[in-house]
């Protein structure tokens, strides 16, 4: 038998076998979809403690975009939002991120800032409209909230001589714990309340208009 005849016989036997296998794909073979995943942002990555802004009235940007021009902005807070990430936040130990009795800038990165667009009262104490940095001195039972005029300091070196107002408010238990530091306004009967919430701690600061 010649080599050519042998090749034709072998080809005739192999082709049906291949056709049979093609009609029944092997379940062990998983085809990967041809989807290209988006890469890492090549310009500016998201900060680990992203900057955020809270307004009063709460939905001020939406109100303004919807044409509610008669709504006045009364206050806003600009702050960076650190996360717990399994860390122990408040306590007396050096292992705690925020230690009792020591000044804390209530945020990350730049100092937390609050701006009032009209004169207000904070816990009954007058405060003129303007821009201030916020920091606090926390303890287990209460926080001393400080409004300070020393802007652009990143909150790393507080200057008590530039404190404009100090108020002390009780600590409220927060359950369940909150992962990200959260500062926001809520309406009240006489104006608003400024809430600072993180981990298992919540503090409310009354603001009267």
Which of 27-36, 68-77, 111-120, 191-200 is the least confident region? 27-36
Report pLDDT for 42: 85
What are the residue boundaries of the structural domains of the chain, listed by start? 51-208
* Percentage above 70 pLDDT, the chain: 78
The mean-pLDDT minimum among 53-67, 103-117, 186-200 falls in 53-67
Please say if the pLDDT value at position 17 is more than 50: no
SS in 3 state form for the chain?
CCHHHHHHHHHHHHHHHHHHHHHCCCCCCCCCCCCCCCCCCCCCCCCCCCEEEEEECCCHHHHHHCCCCCCCCCEEEEEECCECCCCCCEECCCCCCEECCCCECCCCCCCCEEEECCCEEECCEEECCEEEEEEEEECCCEEEEEEECCCCCCCCCCCHHHEEEEEEEEEEEEEEEEEEEEEEEEEECCEEEEEEEEEEEEEEEEEEC
């Amino acid at each position: 038998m010649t080599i050519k005849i042998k090749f034709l016989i072998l080809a005739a036997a192999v082709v049906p076998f291949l056709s049979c296998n093609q009609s029944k794909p092997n379940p062990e073979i998983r085809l990967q979809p041809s989807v290209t995943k988006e890469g890492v942002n090549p310009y500016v990555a998201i900060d680990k403690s992203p900057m955020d802004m809270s307004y009063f009235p709460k939905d001020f940007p939406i109100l303004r975009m919807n044409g509610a021009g008669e709504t006045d902005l009364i206050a806003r807070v600009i702050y960076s939002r650190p996360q717990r990430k399994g860390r122990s936040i408040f306590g007396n130990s050096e292992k705690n991120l925020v230690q009792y009795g020591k000044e804390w800038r209530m945020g990350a990165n730049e100092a937390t800032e609050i701006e009032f667009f009209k004169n207000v009262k904070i816990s009954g104490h007058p405060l003129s409209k303007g821009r201030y940095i916020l920091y606090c001195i926390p303890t287990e039972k209460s926080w001393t909230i400080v409004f300070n005029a020393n802007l652009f300091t990143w909150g790393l070196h507080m200057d008590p001589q530039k404190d404009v107002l100090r108020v002390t408010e009780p600590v409220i238990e927060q359950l369940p714990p909150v992962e990200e530091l959260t500062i926001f306004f809520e309406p009240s009967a006489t104006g608003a309340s400024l809430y600072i919430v993180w981990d298992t701690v919540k503090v409310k600061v009354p603001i009267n208009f």
